[in-house]
Amino acid sequence: MTPILPRALALPDFPWDSLRPYRVRAARHPGGVVDLAVGTPVDESPDVARAALAAASDAPGYPATVGTPALREAVIGWMERRRGVAGLGDDAVIPTIGSKESVALLPLQLGAGPGDIIVHPRAAYPTYDVGARLAGATPVPVDTDADPDTWNLPAGRDDGPAAPVIVWLNSPGNPDGHVLGIDQLARVVVWARRRGAVVVSDECYAELAWAEPWATEGVPSLLDPRVAGARDDGSSDLSGLVCLYSLSKQSNLAGYRAAFLAGDPAIVGALTQVRKHSGMLMPAPVQAAMVAALGDDAHVAAQREIYRRRRRVLVEATAAAGLVNDPASAAGLYLWLSGPRNMSAFDLVGAFAELGIVVAPGDFYGEAGAGRVRMSLTDTDERVDAAARRLHATDLFRP
């Protein structure tokens, strides 16, 4: 009898594996490799988080799924202070083990299944697509910058477009750095609520805004009352809305797997039950580190300036080499670069590898990535400067 194969075997190949030959080529460069592909932080984790982690390291008991009262209070306070979302209760937040697990598992945890439509940005982190497939649902890329009435959705039972069960947003976007403004976010919320869809917004790059008005005003959250609608007491109408946030980028805590989700208490409550049953518990020392990091804005501001400098250096160097950064790329941790029309994404990756620089092909992020590469800001200042010198001196990207 043929064994039943796990659904995971039907998933696409893990895209990063295809970069191995380019990494080998880049490593041959006499000046050493500059790895700007994955976007993993390289700067030190903040002292406040490390001290809190160490102080809480005696943790013999099981941690609570919902997090400590101190952590929930810290998340609620941070959401009000940094994201303009007031009035969240304890029942509206929960810690998660990084944000990628939520991107991958939320559709399954929310009960999506075969026949369901899940939409996500057309230039998108691959895990949105994978998460839909893990649930047996159908992923559909759409232009989340556009009016949702224009989205190209498959036909439903009544010959009109099918209504999705989940709408994924990502602002600031990975890989493109696009920011959805208040009006566009509100338009999507109204559209989704009319169709009974849950809107989930991945906002983990919100503290890294480079262009105006976002650099001054801040990147708006899905849960902002100007987006979600305000109740009589001024708090947000959270119905059908969830946002994800991670400390990986703003606080260099990728190795801690420190994240949370916030939103509709009914949805958070359902997810909490799933997490209790499946034992998805954030370690107690990590919870303590999160409390400390969420309460300290100074280290985030310092890290933002480090990335600002690296971005400026790389924007200037790639432009000098003949590459064009997406003009709508206003925030986030990446440049979204295009080259000459005759160069595919992997042609561009190969040319970068000749310079000892590793970048990610746009093909990883859907059809919208054709002819583009994603370049992260996450290598040391010395390595970023080395990459810039090589780019200023090359003609590999000239037609």
Q: Which run of H or of E encompasses 120?
A: strand 117-121
Assess contact for 357 and 390: CB atoms under 8 A.
yes
Q: Does pTM surpass 0.85?
A: yes
Strand-strand pairing, 117-121 and 166-170: parallel
Q: If you search the block for the tokens 């989930």, which residue do you land on?
A: 200
pLDDT score, position 160: 62
Are 166 and 107 in contact by the 8 Å Cβ rule? The answer is yes
Torsion of CA 379, 382, 383, 387, to 10 degrees: 120
**All domains of the chain in start order, with CATH:** 7-44+299-393 (3.90.1150.10), 53-295 (3.40.640.10)
Predicted confidence pLDDT, tens digits, the chain (399 residues): 455 555 544 666 677 778 889 899 999 999 999 999 988 999 999 999 999 999 999 999 999 999 999 999 999 999 999 999 998 999 999 999 999 999 999 999 999 999 899 999 999 999 999 999 999 999 999 999 999 999 988 876 666 677 899 999 999 999 999 999 999 999 999 999 999 999 999 999 999 999 999 999 999 999 999 999 988 787 889 999 999 999 999 999 999 999 999 999 999 999 999 999 988 899 999 999 999 999 999 999 999 999 999 999 999 999 999 999 999 999 999 999 999 988 999 999 999 999 999 999 999 899 999 999 999 999 999 999 999 999 999 988 877
